[in-house]
Homo-oligomer: A and B are copies of this chain.
Amino acid sequence: MTNAQVTLVQLDNYGPWTVTPEPRREADLQTLQSRLYADLSQFLGTRDGYAFFTRFDNMIAVTNGIDRADHRRLQESLRNRYPVTVSLGIGSGANPTDALVDATAHLQAAGSAQDAERREVLAGDPIAEAERADDDVRIAHFDVNDATGKYTDELDAFSTFVRIEQGYAALMRTLHDEHDGLAFFVGGDNVIALVPDLARDTYADVIERVRDDADMSLKVGVGAGRTATDAGMAAKHALEVCREEGTTVEGV
């Protein structure tokens, strides 16, 4: 069994804030959101976590090895520098989906995302140090075969984007509904997924499914580690092997 620790980062009462007292300029909101995410990525990333932007007002992170004091410090740092605050739910479970269900439940139990009174909740518990293992986190890093040659340099930019999005949607659904994995688009033609321990054949099946559903050819590198960074760097190196060898699944 894997033992991912997942943190749900939710901006408190953000939707209403964006239109109070009247709608705020979209460019400022986009700047605010993407910088707050960048800070989250840097804070967690330099502590060997991974943060995904997801919906920006709800972000999902892999936080094995990051304790409650760090989570609290993150909340304080954001509160001191932004006009908004964040609530954090920490979860774990038999697989990534269960871990996020757990993290979400902690925040939902504390109140609505649009409850003006619910601010800076910190709920749920990190995995105890004694229970951590060297393969707690598994990361699968997918990319599209020759995306630049087949799409970026050939189609108009939006058509390429539509293709990438459709491939991502098919991959996200398959991994989530059938394998309890959480897949995130991270830019370019890259998708990073937090996954349970899956067999080589399963990855081949998933890639086949995406080819059928979205007519897109993927390859994947898989890695395991004590933290998201350990697992993620192993996955990146495995993906480099795919590139060099022309293979489709490496690292598992």
Contacts and interface: CB of A to CB of B under 8 A. Distances in A.
Interface string A65-93: 00000000110110011110000000000
Given A100-B158, A165-B172, A23 B58 contact: no
A5 B12 CA distance: 36
A140 to B, nearest CB: 13
B56 A188 contact: yes
A161 B55 contact: yes
B104 A156 contact: yes
A196 B234 CA distance: 46
Contacts of A56: 187-188
A33 B117 CA distance: 29
Contacts of A30: 37-38, 41, 45, 51, 53, 186-187
A240 interface: yes
Given A8-B157, A15-B188, A26 B45 contact: yes
Interface stretch (A108-116, A119-127, A200-208): A108-116
A15 B176 CA distance: 27
Contact of A82 (B33, B83, B112, B237): B83
Given A42-B42, A46-B73, A57-B187, A23 B237 contact: yes
A83 B31 CA distance: 15
A153 B113 contact: yes
Q: Which of A38, A39, A236 has the most CB of B within 10 A?
A: A38
Contacts of A54: 157, 161
A28 to B, nearest CB: 4
Interface of A: 8, 10, 14-15, 18-19, 22-35, 37-39, 41-46, 49-51, 53-58, 60, 73-74, 76-77, 80-83, 97, 100-101, 103-105, 108, 112-114, 148-149, 152-162, 164-166, 169, 172-173, 176, 182, 186-189, 192, 229, 232-233, 236-237, 239-240
Given A32-B80, A104-B156, 18 more contacts: A23-B240, A26-B192, A27-B51, A28-B77, A29-B186, A30-B37, A30-B45, A31-B42, A31-B45, A35-B38, A39-B42, A42-B77, A46-B73, A101-B156, A158-B176, A159-B176, A162-B173, A169-B169
